[in-house]
């Protein structure tokens, strides 16, 4: 059970870098193709744009089943064990930032959420206040969704909790301090597991 967002947190005056990450390494078996290629790469462009224009200082995209040229300003992260599921993509992102003292948080997004734009990202980041201790998640009509902000204090614990084909969800579900930001007025938040 989370805490419903009703006001912006006081920003951390010593805030540093927020890293945005698009998880896109999977083969998209149910969808019929890797989702990083969906809509001729448009989903990837939309996800990168959402993070970049929404306020992330750096943007990374996990790749595994296929590798593609990254839309600016994103950088690719190769996930060697992508077949093991989304936990390996989350692991690759968190290991990238774990030792960096300038990173205050990581914003995790999914490539198959084309309706989620910069406005949603901005709302989640505002709710985080750029705090290293914050946990923030977008919700859509009461459903937990993405993006998710993990303050840097949670990077190590989330890495320790990762298992199988699950990302940070189990860690967040066990917490009572996750700030939930209703975003259904901005996007439907629906992921696309199957083609229409």
The predicted model gives 93-107 an average pLDDT of: 96
Average pLDDT, the chain: 93
Confidence of residue 117 (pLDDT cuts 50, 70, 90): very high
Tens digit of each residue's pLDDT (9 = 90 or more) over 53-70: 999 999 999 999 999 999
For the chain, give the percent of residues with pLDDT over 70: 92
According to the model, what pLDDT value does residue 52 have? Answer: 99
Was domain 3-182 assigned CATH 3.90.550.10?
Answer: yes
Which one has a higher pLDDT value, 3 or 97?
97
According to the model, what pLDDT value does residue 1 have? Answer: 47
Per-residue HEC secondary structure of the chain comes to CCEECCCCCCCCCCCCEEEEEEECCCCCCCCCCCHHHHHHHHHHHHHHHHHHHHCCCEEEEEECCCCCCCCCCCEEEECCCHHHCHHHHHHHHHHHHCCCCCEEEEEEEECCCCCCCHHHHHHHHHHHCCCCCCEEEEEECCEEEEEEEEEHHHHHHHHHHCECCECCHHHHHCCCCCEEEECCCCCCCCCCCCCC
């Amino acid at each position: 059970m989370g805490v419903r967002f009703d006001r912006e947190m006081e920003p951390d005056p010593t805030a540093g870098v927020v890293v945005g990450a698009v998880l896109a390494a999977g083969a998209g078996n149910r969808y019929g193709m890797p989702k990083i290629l969906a809509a001729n790469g448009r989903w990837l462009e939309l996800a990168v744009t959402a993070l970049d224009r929404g306020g992330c200082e750096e943007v990374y995209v996990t790749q595994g089943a296929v590798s593609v040229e990254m839309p600016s300003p994103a950088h690719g992260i190769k996930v060697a064990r992508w077949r093991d599921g989304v936990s390996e993509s989350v692991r690759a992102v968190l290991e990238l930032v774990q030792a960096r003292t300038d990173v205050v948080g990581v914003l995790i997004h999914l490539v198959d959420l084309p309706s989620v734009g910069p406005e949603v990202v901005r709302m989640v980041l505002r709710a985080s206040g750029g705090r290293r201790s914050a946990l923030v998640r977008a919700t859509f009509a009461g459903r937990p969704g993405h993006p998710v902000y993990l303050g840097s204090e949670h990077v190590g614990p989330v890495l320790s909790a990762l298992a199988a084909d699950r990302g940070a969800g189990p860690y967040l579900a066990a917490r009572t301090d996750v700030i939930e930001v209703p975003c259904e007025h901005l996007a439907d938040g629906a992921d696309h597991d199957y083609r229409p």
